[in-house]
Amino acid sequence: MKKTILAATLGLLLTGCGGNSSDSEPSAKTTGPQSPVAGEPTPVTPRSYQFSVLGSANGEAPDAQVDVPSGFDAEADWFVVSQNRDEFLGFSMVSLVFSDACHPADHVTVTPGPSVEDLADALVAQTSTRASVPEPVTLDGYKGLYVELAGPRYLSKCTDPGLWDGRGIYVDGQVDRVWILNVDGHRVVVDASHSAESSSAQEVDTLTSMVESLEFVE
């Protein structure tokens, strides 16, 4: 795979400690990727993980391989979330967008066309969110568009808020950094989300580093 080219921010260099004994067992981080464990929130061991893409039927889209640091929980095979619940990284094939992110059930839903541009346009047109102008981006050699979404400022005024089918909004002013990619003919969404209020610059940089480590694998 080509090295990730990301139209985004600084990466975070992750360091760790290891034993000096030549006969010690290899650390979990140096072994091959494994899939996150679905179920109750389970702290991950820092290493490379192989994620499924939500909405991909019978493995039609390649899996996503990402280096995940400590401080995250696994709950499903398509995302991880920080233990403070403020940061999130997930992978999906979006086929339905809520026209109003604050009150999805009270409004029509939008089924965007099949292209990267179609989905970007639907997200920009979504009400109750604020969207950046879509920008061309390349991730792991795959081209697409990058859109940044800022959610409703006051979720207490919303009813079951969400961006699209399978992706909710959980904190006031939630920021979703969205890469919409054409991966071998499949529209794959990479969503790195954080809290506008409580996520630190270092925590945002950690998410960026995770995205930068992304490789799509068969």
DSSP string covering 45-62, please? PSEEEEE--BT-GGG-SP
> Residue 86 above 70 pLDDT?
yes
The pLDDT value given to residue 37: 79
What mean pLDDT is reported for the chain?
A: 87
Could you read off the pLDDT of 152-198 as tens digits, one per residue? 999 999 999 999 999 999 999 999 999 999 999 999 999 999 999 99
Question: What span, in angstroms and rounded, lies between the C-alpha atoms of 194 and 204?
Answer: 7
CATH of domain 41-217: 3.40.1000.10
The domain locations on the chain are 41-217
For the chain, the DSSP string reads -PPP--SS-PPPPP-------TTSPPPGGGS--BPPPPSS-EEPPSEEEEE--BT-GGG-SPEEEEEE-SSEEE-SSSEEEETTS--EEEEE----EESBSS-GGGS-EE---SSHHHHHHHHHH-BTSEEPPPEEEEETTEEEEEEEEE--S-GGG-SS-EEETTEE--STT-EEEEEEEEETTEEEEEEEEE-TTT--HHHHHHHHHHHHT-EEE-
